[in-house]
Amino acid sequence: MLRILEYILLTIGVAIIVAISYWIGQQAYSWMPVAASTDAKQIDDLFSFLVWMSGIIFLGVVGMIGYSILTCRAPKGDYREGHPMRGNWKIEAAWTITPVLLVLWIVGYSFYIYEKMEVAGPTQLLGDLNVPLGAEPAYAQAPSHNTPAPELIPQTIEVTAKQWVWAFRYPQQNITSNELHLPVNRRAHLVLRSQDVLHGFYVPEFRIKQDIIPNRAIDFQFIPNRVGKYRLQDSQFSGAYFAVMQADVYVDTPEAYAQWLTHAVSQKPIPVSNQAAAEHEQPPKRLFKTNWYTVLPAQSTDVNYASRTLPQASVENPMIVSEESKE
């Protein structure tokens, strides 16, 4: 009878642990920054799942320790060795098979999320997506033939990373900028390149990160779906100034995006300062020469459009550059 009661209590305990872990996993959604791309929901679902599994493991181990302390105590003055568990095939099988199945489950679900992120192409309709702020989907209907309509073809933007600045080139308009502008609900097609070392393209709100490898052109696509101002960071911290290698990313309404392109194309190229290059040109202050190999910082980049000091844009409101802020 006591054995049956013990099994019932263990079952109730396991159910409570699973329920609490699931609740923690649901709370994990609020730990993430605002979602600003169609891939963000998939990544948040995966993160919530991993938190759920981690909660089960953590609470399960802590619960088993507490259960053992309460029910498996030796009597006072009993210093005999515990019952040997070596060679118990049931325990060996349990702690071998259970982690393997758990890891396979995580791998399978992660691959499923990755496949869902890769399935969407430039001609995919956005009608089934949760477009925020009451914005209309960018694509009203599918093309009637196999060739995508012009408005469905994403504009290619060349992204160049170099120590320690970002440069964005729009080949169709022959525009170079040190801030990235993207139209909302349109698939962005980026071609990522590095001029020197390994860099990482990372925008937390988009839930995307892509390593940029020297001597390679990497195609990268995603759909931003929330108007606002965000921050591009270099995810590779392998030296001085990598932490400050950042750039503004604006997801604009179609009208604001067209306005920015029109304004930028009319500007003459101007050099943009590189803090690292400016400091590197100053006389060094050191007691002795180290002879360490150093990758020289990139020189100033000529751009048609350079970042201005603009009011902080809210992710709930479109970022439209006013005439006063351009002056």
Work out the number of other CB atoms within 10 angstroms of the CB of residue 114: 12
DSSP one-letter code for 281: T
pLDDT at 131 over 50: no
Q: How many CA atoms lie within 13 A of 312 on its CB side?
A: 2
The mean pLDDT of 126-143, rounded to a whole number, is 35
pLDDT score recorded for residue 134: 33
Question: Hey, which CATH number is domain 153-282+295-326, 2.60.40.420, 2.40.50.100, 2.60.120.590, 3.90.1170.50?
Answer: 2.60.40.420
Structure-model confidence comparison of residues 11 and 241, the more confident one: 11
Report the chain's mean pLDDT, rounded to a whole number. Answer: 76
Q: What is the 3-state secondary structure (H, E, C) of 152-168?
A: HCCCEEEEEEECCEEEE
Angle, vertex CA 300, rays to CA 167 and CA 323, nearest 5: 65
Q: To 10 degrees, the CA torsion angle through 31, 33, 36, 38?
A: -30
pLDDT score recorded for residue 69: 85
Query: What are the tens digits of pLDDT across the range 86-104?
Result: 777 888 888 889 889 989 9
pTM over 0.85: no
pLDDT at 250 over 90: yes
pLDDT score recorded for residue 93: 87
The mean pLDDT of 45-49, rounded to a whole number, is 92
Please tell me the distance from the alpha carbon of residue 277 to that of residue 298, in angstroms, as a whole number: 6
pLDDT score recorded for residue 299: 62
**Cβ atoms 251, 317 nearer than 8 A:** no
Highest mean pLDDT: which of 5-9, 232-236, 286-290?
Answer: 232-236
pLDDT score recorded for residue 77: 82
**Cβ atoms 157, 249 nearer than 8 A:** no
The mean pLDDT of 152-165, rounded to a whole number, is 81
Q: How many CA atoms lie within 13 A of 305 on its CB side?
A: 23
pLDDT at 181 over 80: yes
Give which of 160, 144, 161, 143 is closest to 152, Cα–Cα.
143
Highest mean pLDDT: which of 77-81, 183-187, 296-300?
Answer: 183-187
Residue percentage of the chain with pLDDT more than 70: 69
> Which residue type does 62 have?
V
pLDDT grade, residue 129 (50/70/90)? very low
pLDDT at 190 over 90: yes
Question: Domain ranges in the chain?
Answer: 2-70+102-116, 153-282+295-326
pLDDT score recorded for residue 285: 67
Question: Helices marked H in the chain — which ranges?
Answer: 2-27, 40-71, 89-119, 254-265, 275-280, 323-326
Q: Can you list the pairs that 123-130 forms with residues at least 24 positions away whose Cβ atoms lie under 8 Å?
A: 123/148, 123/152, 124/187, 126/38, 126/185, 126/223, 126/225, 129/38, 129/225, 130/41
pLDDT grade, residue 277 (50/70/90)? low
pLDDT score recorded for residue 224: 93
Structure-model confidence comparison of residues 230 and 89, the more confident one: 230
Residue percentage of the chain with pLDDT more than 90: 31
Helix (H) or strand (E) holding 177: strand 175-177
Query: What are the tens digits of pLDDT across the range 312-324?
Result: 333 333 333 333 3
pLDDT score recorded for residue 315: 36
Give strand pairing partners of 222: 188
